[in-house]
Amino acid sequence: MDNIQTLTALLKNSGCQYQIFDLGRRIQPIENDQFSHVEQGHQAYPCPVKRTAHLAIAYWNETKQPWIWFLKFALDERGLLQQADVGQFIKYVVEAMGTRLNKELTEEQQDKLANNPYTFKPSEDKMAVFHSQIRATLAMPCSQYYEHAQHYFSGGLGWNNWQTVGLQGITDICARLNQEQNGPLVRKALSHLPTQPLYALLGALEHTELPTKLAERLEEFAQAEISSQDPDLFLLSALTRALSGADEKRLSQLIDSILSSPRLSHPEVLIAIAGRAWNVLNSNTRAEQFLLRLAQTGNQTLFNQLFADLVMLPELRMVLLPLLHGTPSEELAQALIKLQQDTKS
């Protein structure tokens, strides 16, 4: 136990293969080497939400039946994991199951391990996406809902008969867009889907790397809302989130189109950009335009929350902090002054 001070060391000591996923923003893998550097305090956690790291750790042996931990750790003001918290969680693990993880837990061990402040339960939609992704990663069978969902998206059930289609089936399809013609299946279904299955599909796609043709189709839908006289801003928000898995050039162009129009810069759309498409705010001009639109909503509380959240992202920190010390826009300057006053009070 004395020499096991990181989760990486604990996992390696067990002889298991493992994969770390970020669950806070988009569900996406974190490279094992990168996570090791984060644990050692050599770099900030890459994708925090509300100054917290939300993680899934999947580990498995030769049977490829993964064990999964869902963990959350508070970060310090620099975005670093706090070693004491990680150490405390490792202590809980070792007390519950020893230093070798590659065995089934008894019910008593499971209860003992679950009773700690670092585990959490993701939302139902994220849980579904994550389980589909890990099954696809390990080439495990899909859920029982997969074929029925495929049948629905092919049009075989009738587009209005979506009530029996399970969310897990939809997330299974999205985790396998490059298999069994699922990409073309989804692309062709998009224009036929009623509201409920459409939003369920878009929600699953938020966490998926998009094939080019599917990204093009989703962009067409988004551009139709952008050019509409009466855009559905909640649909535009959902499409923006779904397109976060498109290539950066395509996503940047979409965000620029949205931010060029005050009427499209609804709080719901701006929250979608901050939550899923944050990586394209690494341009000084785009970041400033985003914050200007956020200031123009007149919602100072939302401005403060999103700025505080985004500035904790390592790739945006040095883009956003200089704006506190000078900006050409009076509206943005006032919002930033108020932000600093609220932070001090």
Per-residue pLDDT of the chain (345 residues; tens, 9 = 90+): 457 889 999 999 888 899 999 999 999 999 999 999 999 999 999 999 999 999 999 999 888 788 899 999 999 999 999 999 999 999 988 888 776 776 677 777 777 777 889 999 999 999 999 999 999 999 999 999 999 999 999 999 999 999 999 999 999 999 999 999 999 999 999 999 999 999 999 999 999 999 999 999 999 999 999 999 999 999 999 999 999 999 999 999 999 999 999 999 999 999 999 999 999 999 999 999 999 999 999 999 999 999 999 999 999 999 999 988 877 789 999 999 999 998 887
Q: What was the pLDDT predicted at 65?
A: 84
From the list 220, 294, 301, the residue with the least C-alpha distance to 259 is 294
Strands 28-30 and 52-60: unpaired
The ranges assigned to domains in the chain are 7-122, 127-208, 212-345
Give the per-residue SS3 of 267-333: HHHHHHHHHHCHHHHHCHHHHHHHHHHHHHCCCHHHHHHHHHHHCCCHHHHHHHHHHHHCCCCHHHH
Residue 53 buriedness (CB in 10 A; 0-12 / 13-18 / 19+):
buried
Separation in Å, CA 341 to CA 106, 334, 344? 53, 11, 5
Q: What was the pLDDT predicted at 320?
A: 95
**Amino acid (one-letter) located at 133:** Q
Q: Which are the contacts of 84, defined by CB distance < 8 A and separation ≥ 6?
A: none
Cα atoms found within 13 Å of the Cα of residue 21, Cβ hemisphere only: 22
Q: What was the pLDDT predicted at 2?
A: 54
Q: What is the dihedral of CA 272, 276, 280, 285, to 10 degrees?
A: 30
The whole-angstrom separation of Cα 110 and Cα 113 is 5
Q: Is 5 helix (H, G, I), strand (E, B) or coil?
A: coil
CB under 8 Å, gap of 24 or more: what pairs does 30-35 form? 30/55, 32/8, 35/7, 35/8
For residue 37, what are its two tokens?
Answer: 């550097």
Q: Are 218 and 241 in contact (CB under 8 A)?
A: no
Separation in Å, CA 335 to CA 94, 307, 311, 313? 48, 11, 15, 20
The whole-angstrom separation of Cα 120 and Cα 110 is 14
Q: Is 9 helix (H, G, I), strand (E, B) or coil?
A: helix
The whole-angstrom separation of Cα 292 and Cα 280 is 16
The whole-angstrom separation of Cα 312 and Cα 275 is 13
The whole-angstrom separation of Cα 185 and Cα 172 is 13
Q: What was the pLDDT predicted at 115?
A: 80
Q: What was the pLDDT predicted at 1?
A: 47
The whole-angstrom separation of Cα 4 and Cα 11 is 10
Q: Which are the contacts of 267, defined by CB distance < 8 A and separation ≥ 6?
A: 297, 299, 302
| Run of H or E including 2 | none
Cα atoms found within 13 Å of the Cα of residue 80, Cβ hemisphere only: 10
Question: pTM (2 decimals)?
Answer: 0.93
